[in-house]
C-alpha cells in the first residue's frame, strides 16, 4: 500500500495504473476510520483493480468551526486498517493541497438540500460537493463508494454526477452496525461510556417504528419516534422525517412512494448522530 500526500504524486501513480489498463475505484473518507469504512474498501477491492482511499477532514463542509476542531483524527490507525482491508493507495493531503486557492465554487441541489440536513447545516452540501468533485477530478475513478448511513449525502452526490455528467458510477453500500445496533460513525468515539450504552436506543426505536408502520399513519409513527427518544431525557432529536427515498421529500401517507426511508439526527452527550432506516 502506498501513502501519498500530494495531487501530483497521486496523479503520477494513477497514470501508470491506467496505462496498464487497471480499473480504479475511489472511497472518499474523512478518516477516523471504522469497520463501516473497511466494508466500503473491501467492496471497492472486489470490484476494481486499484483502490484509492482519500483520508481528509474537509473544512468546507463544516459550518461549525468547533465541530471541525473536535472531529477525530487517527491517521496511523487509519493506515493500518486500510492496508488490512486491501487498499492500494491512501491519499492524505493537507488542506493547502486540496485548496491552494480560496474556494469559489458553490453548488445548488434544489429540493434535495432543502430538507433535513440542509437547513440544519447551511453550506454543508456545497462543501461536500466541492471536495468530492475535486477528488473525482484528481482520481478519475470508474466507481466511487459511499455508505448509506449518510443517505442524503448519497443522493446529493448522485445528483452532482448527473448535473456534471461525470463518467463514473456511484455505488451505495449498506450501513454497518455494532452488535447492539448503533450505526458505526467516526463521531461515536466522542461519546462518553454512559452515552455509548444508551445510544443504541436510536436504532431500537427506529426498528419499532417500522413495525408500527404496518398499522399506523406516518404522523403517528413520527410522534412515536420523537416521544420515545424524548422519554430517555438524554436525547435531543433535531429532526425525524419519513421521506421518498429518491426525492427526499416528506410524504404524508405510505402510498405516496414505492421507496420510503426514515432519516433522523439526534444529539447525545454533545455529539450529533444520524441514522436511517427503510420502511418500504
**Residues labelled catalytic:** 37
Tally of CB atoms within 10 A around 49? 14
d(CA 8, CA 26): 17
Please give the full DSSP string across the chain, using - where no structure is assigned.
-EEE-SHHHHHHHHHHHHHTT--EEEEEE-SS--HHHHHHHHHHHHH-SEEEEEE---GGG-S-HHHHHHS---HHHHHHHHHHHT-SEEE---HHHH-SS--------GGGGSSTHHHHSTTHHHHHHHHHHHHHHHH--SEEEEETTSHHHHHHHHHHHHHHT-S-EEEEE---B-TTSPBP-GGGGGS-HHHHHHTTHHHHHHHHHHHHTTTS-HHHHHHHHHHHHHHTSSEEEEEEEEEETTT--B-SSGGG-SSEEEEEEEEETTEEEEEEEE--
Order across the sheet with 2-4: list the strands.
2-4, 89-91, 50-55, 24-29, 143-147, 169-173
Tally of CB atoms within 10 A around 76? 7
Amino acid at each position: 500500500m502506498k501513502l501519498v500526500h500530494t495531487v501530483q504524486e497521486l496523479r503520477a501513480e494513477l497514470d501508470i495504473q491506467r496505462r496498464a489498463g487497471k480499473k480504479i475505484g475511489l472511497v472518499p473518507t474523512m478518516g477516523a476510520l471504522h469497520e463501516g469504512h473497511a466494508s466500503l474498501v473491501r467492496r471497492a477491492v472486489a470490484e476494481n483493480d486499484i483502490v484509492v482511499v482519500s483520508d481528509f477532514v474537509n473544512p468546507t463542509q463544516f459550518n461549525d468551526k468547533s465541530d471541525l476542531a473536535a472531529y477525530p483524527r487517527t491517521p496511523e490507525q487509519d493506515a493500518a486498517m486500510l492496508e488490512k482491508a486491501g487498499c492500494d493507495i491512501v491519499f492524505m493531503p493537507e488542506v493547502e493541497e486540496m485548496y491552494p486557492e480560496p474556494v469559489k465554487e458553490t453548488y445548488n441541489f434544489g429540493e434535495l438540500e432543502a430538507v433535513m440536513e440542509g437547513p440544519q447545516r447551511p453550506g454543508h452540501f456545497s462543501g461536500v460537493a466541492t471536495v468530492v468533485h475535486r477528488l473525482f477530478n484528481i482520481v478519475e475513478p470508474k466507481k466511487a463508494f459511499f455508505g448509506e448511513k449518510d443517505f442524503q449525502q448519497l443522493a446529493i452526490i448522485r445528483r452532482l454526477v448527473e448535473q456534471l455528467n461525470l463518467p463514473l458510477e456511484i455505488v451505495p453500500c449498506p450501513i454497518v452496525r455494532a452488535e447492539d445496533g448503533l450505526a458505526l460513525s467516526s463521531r461515536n468515539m466522542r461519546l462518553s461510556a454512559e452515552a455509548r450504552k444508551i445510544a443504541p436506543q436510536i436504532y431500537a426505536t427506529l426498528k419499532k417504528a417500522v413495525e408500527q408502520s404496518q398499522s399506523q399513519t406516518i404522523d403517528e409513527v413520527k410522534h412515536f419516534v420523537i416521544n420515545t427518544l424524548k422519554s430517555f431525557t438524554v436525547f435531543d432529536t433535531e429532526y425525524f422525517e419519513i421521506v421518498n427515498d429518491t426525492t427526499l421529500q416528506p410524504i404524508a401517507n405510505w402510498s405516496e412512494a414505492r421507496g420510503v426511508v426514515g432519516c433522523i439526527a439526534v444529539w447525545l452527550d454533545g455529539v450529533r448522530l444520524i441514522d436511517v432506516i427503510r420502511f418500504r
